[in-house]
Chains A and B, each alone.
Chain A
């Protein structure tokens, strides 16, 4: 029995996982969701923006990370829409512009006036070096919008020269270029406030910058997106996925415990077999 706990067939585990992921998506359980301090800090950074403020929104994620990153982007964009601020969308990841377009559409930004209330400046290659160039010269680095029209021909770009002219930068980035590059190349020179969304596994990497007050707040993975959706009172995909994530985490913890029970029991049994009298083996 104990031996079998050490060798549960992989296929069984996979079937249990599929059932646990699918069941709450079909029939939500409604596990209570607490708002973390980190998510609240991001919310407050955006809540404190004055109407008409200019926000740069970095769509620095790709289709592969969309499932985890897009709910964060959508929740923050919905909040920005409500704050009546201006949004300059851009990307340092090649798939960013098209995902940005989709995000603008899904959140209702496309009902606002393009070029006046929001704009999509597309993608620029070059990684961290381009982030530095962007900080020093925004219209020079992003000289056209996604459709190829000169960026300076749009009213939203009036008076925008460097990162000092931006009230807040939001970047949704699972890797590089990402929050660390913005801290090094933008915050260190211009002290522009920065809020970022990262996958759950990257929280540890970015957390030191939050403690150093170089980043105002981080959204970590789907739980943060779900919490943000609750804060703006617009529950969406992330809230719906939280029950499934909770059950999946529980399953992982359960299999770890079962495996270790099996291991410890077998170890004890083998010790007893090697030394049936229970006496020490020292000579």
Chain B
């Protein structure tokens, strides 16, 4: 009973959503819309739950005085500050915009920009043509890199043309195969879930 009810609920909801896609029946469409609204509400609650969990975890670290306490303090402090500013001044306020632009946005952009250094270092270390596969990877990487930057076309028109060809033909063929495989996997996983063979989402077995 404990696992049968959730399985039945999952199967019914899943089947309603599938029918909604294929059947232009008003009652089914209305039911699907209602379920989608519930989904949005549950997602919003899940975000709140995530925030509470994060707060609990890090206040625990602070209370125990663990080594990483400073980072937790920073996280909890900035979280509370953002919540207070958002609640009392509004997310459209100048103060909220200041915090977003000068702290979150600046820090995020700095981290994102640092990827350039990792890419350079990784390319230097990893792109070594030790065998045929290495040569293929190396040449493809070089062509794509020169083909996607304006300098490639200045050196030779071959680079943008070859880069486009790699993207349109071998890449698209490979991506389509992955997509088809993944789609079939999703269908099979859905059938297993609806029939109650897969209960991993309930925290039971595999």
Give the B-binding residues of A (Cβ under 8 A).
8, 10, 13-14, 17, 21, 31-34, 36-37, 62-68, 94-95, 97-98, 101-102, 124-127, 129-130, 132-133, 136-137, 140-141, 146-147, 189, 200, 203-205, 207-208, 211, 220-221, 223, 226, 242-243, 245-253, 255-256, 259-260, 263-264
- List CB contacts (< 8 Å) of B6-43 with chain A: 21, 29, 32-33, 36-37, 39-40, 42-43
Instruction: Please determine whether B109 and A133 come into contact, CB atoms closer than 8 angstroms.
Output: no
Contacts of A259 in B (CB 8 A): 124-125, 127-128
In contact, A133 and B150 (Cβ under 8 angstroms) = no
Bound: A86/B25 CA distance, A = 32
CB–CB B105/A255 < 8 A: no
Could you tell me if B151 and A250 are in contact, using CB atoms closer than 8 angstroms?
A: yes
- A35–chain B nearest beta-carbon distance, Å: 11
Q: Does B111 contact A (CB under 8 A)?
A: yes
Q: Please pick, from B46, B125, B146, B175, the residue contacting A204 in the complex, using a CB distance under 8 A.
A: B175
Q: 16 more A-B contacts (CB under 8 A) besides A63-B100, A98-B96, A129-B39?
A: A14-B120, A14-B121, A17-B116, A17-B117, A34-B153, A101-B97, A126-B42, A146-B92, A204-B167, A250-B151, A252-B119, A252-B120, A256-B124, A256-B141, A256-B142, A263-B128
B86-130 toward A: CB 8 Å interface, digit per residue (1/0)?
000001100011001100110011011100110111011101111
Do B176 and A208 touch across chains, with their CB atoms under 8 A apart?
yes
| A98 engages B100 (CB within 8 Å) | yes
Q: How far is the CA of A36 from the CA of B171 in the complex (A)?
A: 18
Determine whether the beta carbon of A249 is less than 8 Å from that of B145. yes
Q: How many residues of B contact A (CB 8 A)?
A: 59
| Min CB–CB distance A31 → chain B (angstroms) | 5
Nearest neighbor of A10 in chain B, beta-carbon distance: B121
Q: Is the CB of A65 within 8 A of B112?
A: yes
Does B123 contact A256, Cβ atoms closer than 8 Å?
yes
Per-position binary interface string of chain B over residues 43-76, scored 1 when its CB falls under 8 Å from any chain A CB and 0 otherwise = 1101100000000000000000000000000000
Shortest beta-carbon distance, B115 to chain A, in Å? Answer: 10
Q: Is B84 on the interface with A (CB-CB < 8 A)?
A: no
29 cross-chain CB contacts under 8 A: A13-B120, A14-B120, A14-B121, A17-B116, A17-B120, A31-B154, A34-B153, A64-B111, A66-B109, A124-B40, A125-B46, A126-B43, A126-B44, A129-B39, A130-B36, A130-B39, A132-B36, A140-B37, A204-B175, A207-B171, A207-B172, A208-B179, A245-B149, A245-B150, A248-B120, A249-B148, A255-B124, A259-B125, A264-B129
Q: Are B39 and A133 in contact (CB under 8 A)?
A: yes
Cβ contact within 8 Å between A34 and B160? yes
Indicate whether B168 reaches chain A with its CB closer than 8 angstroms.
yes
A65 cross-chain contacts in B, Cβ below 8 A: 112
Among A101, A126, A136, A141, residue most surrounded by chain B Cβ atoms (within 10 Å): A126
A126 x B121 contact (CB < 8 A) = no
Distance of A124 Cα from B43 Cα, bound (Å): 9
| Of A67, A223, A260, the contact of B148 (CB 8 Å cutoff) | A223
Contact across chains for B92 and A147 when beta carbons are under 8 A apart: yes
Distance in Å: Cβ of A281 to nearest Cβ of chain B: 20
Any A CB within 8 A of the CB of B190: no
Check A32/B153 contact, CB under 8 A, given A13-B120, A63-B108, A223-B148. yes
Docked complex Cα distance between A82 and B36 (Å) = 36
- Taken together as a complex, chains A and B put the C-alpha atoms of A62 and B100 apart, in Å, by 11
A64 touching B120 by the CB < 8 A rule? no
Measured CA separation A10–B121 after assembly (Å): 7
Bound state CA distance, A247 and B116, in angstroms? 12
Is residue B138 within 8 Å, beta carbon to beta carbon, of the partner chain? Answer: yes
- A133 engages B36 (CB within 8 Å): yes
Are B33 and A136 touching (Cβ within 8 A)? yes
- Interfacial chain B residues near A203, Cβ < 8 Å: 167
